[in-house]
Amino acid sequence: MVAVIRKKKSSNFGPFKAIQGKISFLPKTWFGYIKPLIVLLCFLVAFLVYSNWHSLLESLDKTPIRSYALTHKTQFTTNSDIRETLSKNPTLKGYFSQDIQEVKNKLLEMPWVRDVVVRKFYPDRLGITILEHRPVAIWNNVKYLSEQGVVFSLPADRFDRTGLPLMYGPDTESKVVLEAWGKIQAELKARQLELKSVAIDNRGSWSITLSNNVELKLGRGEWTSKIDRFMLIFPEIDIPEGQRLAYVDLRYEHGAAVGFLPLQK
């Protein structure tokens, strides 16, 4: 009988397994220790840049902003106004360090300016867009009212106020008065009357003046029925000779009181 002897195959991966096991027990590399230091250094650099940002920007500026250009023609704002406003403290800086909002806030100090858009152009120029309030009424004889009901002032020599309606009241009620003007004017126009002025006092009491200078005291609350009452009694009012009708007080529940003034010679 012949015996067959089989040679045991040796594995080619034996050494690799041993080496692999040894690698797993090697200590961490140097990068693992230095990584937190790198992160900390990055934070420190970022903090230094942030805290010295303005100084860094100023170092990039060779000259301060020297000129500006308006994007469109303005009705009330002159070049002299802009130059004087921009020259106020704080003075203008260079292209990189100048804060646009700071320039905008300066220009918004002009009371007739509604909004401002400012752009910087390298190396030393500004582009400025100025939006102005448009006067639609005279407010308390000395100021103006805009289309949005904003109270503002204008230099006396820059606008002809002839023909503007007159409105009176606390500044906090400007939008209410402007809205009331439109409604009352429509009601009077339907009755062949023209409106000259509208006023409200601190207690919320209304009065209006017609184009013939007759004042109607309407009081608080709605005014339509009171205007209708005026239309009924007006033809019946007996005006004394040498005098004119000055006011009609319609604050009563029924009827009205009237007052007269001497005719001006």
- For the stretch 109-132, pLDDT in tens is 999 999 999 999 998 999 999 999
pLDDT band at 254, cuts 50/70/90? confident
CA distance linking residue 114 with residue 19, whole number of Å: 79
Average pLDDT score over residue span 39-61 = 63
Domain assignments of the chain as residue spans, ordered by start: 67-132, 135-262
Same fold, 67-132 and 135-262: no
Q: Residue 207's Cα: distance from chain center in Å?
A: 31
pLDDT band at 43, cuts 50/70/90? low
pLDDT band at 38, cuts 50/70/90? confident
Does residue 10 or residue 28 have the better pLDDT?
28
How many other CB atoms are there within 10 angstroms of residue 133's CB atom?
Answer: 22
The yes-or-no verdict on residue 40 having pLDDT over 90 is no
pLDDT, residue 22, reads 46
Average pLDDT score over residue span 151-164 = 94
pLDDT band at 56, cuts 50/70/90? low
The yes-or-no verdict on residue 70 having pLDDT over 90 is yes
CA distance linking residue 241 with residue 258, whole number of Å: 15
Average pLDDT score over residue span 5-19 = 45
pLDDT, residue 173, reads 96
The yes-or-no verdict on residue 16 having pLDDT over 70 is no
Q: Does domain 67-132 have CATH number 3.40.30.110?
A: no
CATH number assigned to the domain with residue range 135-262, chosen from the 4 options 3.40.50.300, 3.40.50.11690, 3.30.70.2200, 3.40.50.1240: 3.40.50.11690
The yes-or-no verdict on residue 45 having pLDDT over 70 is no
Tell me what the pLDDT averaged over the chain comes to. 85
The yes-or-no verdict on residue 77 having pLDDT over 60 is yes
Among 18-32, 55-69, 178-192, 223-237, the least confident range: 18-32
The yes-or-no verdict on residue 59 having pLDDT over 70 is no
pLDDT, residue 198, reads 97
The yes-or-no verdict on residue 24 having pLDDT over 50 is no
What pTM value is reported for the model?
0.75
- For the stretch 78-109, pLDDT in tens is 999 999 999 999 999 998 889 999 999 999 99
**Percent of the chain scoring above 90 in pLDDT:** 69
Average pLDDT score over residue span 172-182 = 96
> In this structure, what token pair is assigned to residue 214?
């007759």
CA distance linking residue 93 with residue 32, whole number of Å: 46
| Residue 245 β-bridge partners | 260
The yes-or-no verdict on residue 25 having pLDDT over 60 is no
C-alpha separations of 211 from 105, 139, 188 in Å: 41, 17, 11
